[in-house]
Amino acid sequence: MKPDVPDAATRFDEADLLRRAREIRSRAYVPYSGFRVGAVVVTSDGQRFEGVNVENASYRLTSCAEQTAIAGMVAAGVRGEIVAVAVVGDGQNPCTPCGACRQTIFEFGPEATIFASGDGGKPLVVTIGELLPHAFGPKRLSQGLGG
């Protein structure tokens, strides 16, 4: 069963988002793992931001596709809530966001729908809450400020 997607998310088509993530995946810089990932982030006002993974010889400095798309969104001055994220990775199985990406997606879209795919098969469609249960986010952090 598909999760409910916010009304603002009606500005996108799941198949189109996955197609675009699959296309931009070819731009990934992956000389070490060879595992390419493309991502498309959609905000509540319908804007789209794209990203690919960018590896580094110092693996800790590698950037995930989801992170680069969200960084592009923030750099563009957009603070609208993320309503959808499409992620496509190499291989047949769905490519879900890593733990760090899940946390970042939750920060900007606590109700976001995630469309995860590979090169074949049916995409996995879940909410970020399903991927990151009991998430630590801005509301919880504000409790330390007397909020």
pLDDT beyond 70 at 75? yes
C-alpha to C-alpha distances, 93 to 42, 73, 78, nearest whole angstrom: 23, 27, 32
**Percent of the chain scoring above 90 in pLDDT:** 78
Q: What is the mean pLDDT of residues 56-65?
A: 91
Q: What's the confidence (pLDDT) of residue 1? A: 37
Domains of the chain: 7-145 (3.40.140.10)
- The pair of structure tokens assigned to 129 is 């809450």
Q: What are the tens digits of pLDDT across the range 32-54?
A: 999 999 999 999 999 999 999 99
Residues 6 and 111: beta-carbon distance below 8 Å? yes
Q: What is the mean pLDDT of residues 103-123?
A: 95
Residues 80 and 44: beta-carbon distance below 8 Å? yes
Q: What is the mean pLDDT of residues 115-132?
A: 95
User: Whole-angstrom Cα distance, residue 136 to residue 51?
Assistant: 24
Q: Which residue has the higher pLDDT, 110 or 9?
A: 110
Q: What's the confidence (pLDDT) of residue 16? A: 95
Whole-model pTM? 0.86
C-alpha to C-alpha distances, 139 to 89, 110, 117, nearest whole angstrom: 31, 11, 30
By mean pLDDT, which of 35-39, 94-98, 139-143 is the weakest? 139-143
Q: Give me the catalytic one of 66, 81, 107, 130.
A: 66
Confidence label for 4 from pLDDT (cuts 50, 70 and 90): very low
Catalytic site includes residue 50 = no
Q: Which residue has the higher pLDDT, 130 or 145?
A: 130
C-alpha to C-alpha distances, 5 to 42, 86, 100, 110, nearest whole angstrom: 12, 13, 23, 12
